[in-house]
Amino acid sequence: MSHIRFVIAVSCVLFLVFAVSFVSPALCHSEGEARVAVEAAESEVLSCYNAAFDAEKAGANVSTLLNTLNEAGWLLSKAKLAYSQGDFDSAFAYANECWSRLVGVVDQAENLKLDAEQAGYWDFMVNFVGSAVGAVCVVVGGFAIWTFLKKREQGGVSA
């Protein structure tokens, strides 16, 4: 009899091991977890788009950021669709993938914005201030040459 109990116990343990290995804990998300993940991903997408908009407003080239944001927006749309259909596991997975695509996008946008602002400053300095200084130099130099030639002409006539 103890031999049969041993076989049954071993069989139960093996069954539990195989059953647990086939059921992934990641596929057991509730509606609340999925909703929180989708809302967090949507919030991150919006903040990234705002950062990219600010960078573009400063004159930065944000085309690479927009490609990343479009991919993340597509994943967010898939997450919202899955959530609306009651597929909370897929909604959670898509929202997390969306979130992971957006890591560092706000920092990239901020760096692009700062670079664009600095380039705009130097553009202003070279084009506006440099042109003004150059125009003043041309006027002063022309006046100095005119004065020198006038004195030379007057000196040559009286000698």
- pLDDT digit string (tens) for 89-148? 999 999 999 999 999 999 999 998 888 778 766 666 777 777 777 888 888 888 889 898
In a domain, 21, yes or no: no
* pLDDT beyond 70 at 23: no
Q: How many domains does the chain have?
A: 1
Q: Is 30 helix (H, G, I), strand (E, B) or coil?
A: coil
In a domain, 84, yes or no: yes
The parent domain of residue 69 ranges over: 30-144
In a domain, 158, yes or no: no
Compute, in degrees rounded to 10, the torsion defined by CA atoms 81, 87, 88, 90.
-70
Nearest to 98 by CA among 27, 30, 37, 52: 37
Does this model's pTM top 0.85? My answer is no
Q: How far apart are CA 156 and CA 150, in angstroms?
A: 10
pLDDT band at residue 32 under the 50/70/90 scheme: confident
Q: How far apart are CA 90 and CA 97, in angstroms?
A: 10
- pLDDT digit string (tens) for 75-90? 999 999 999 999 999 9
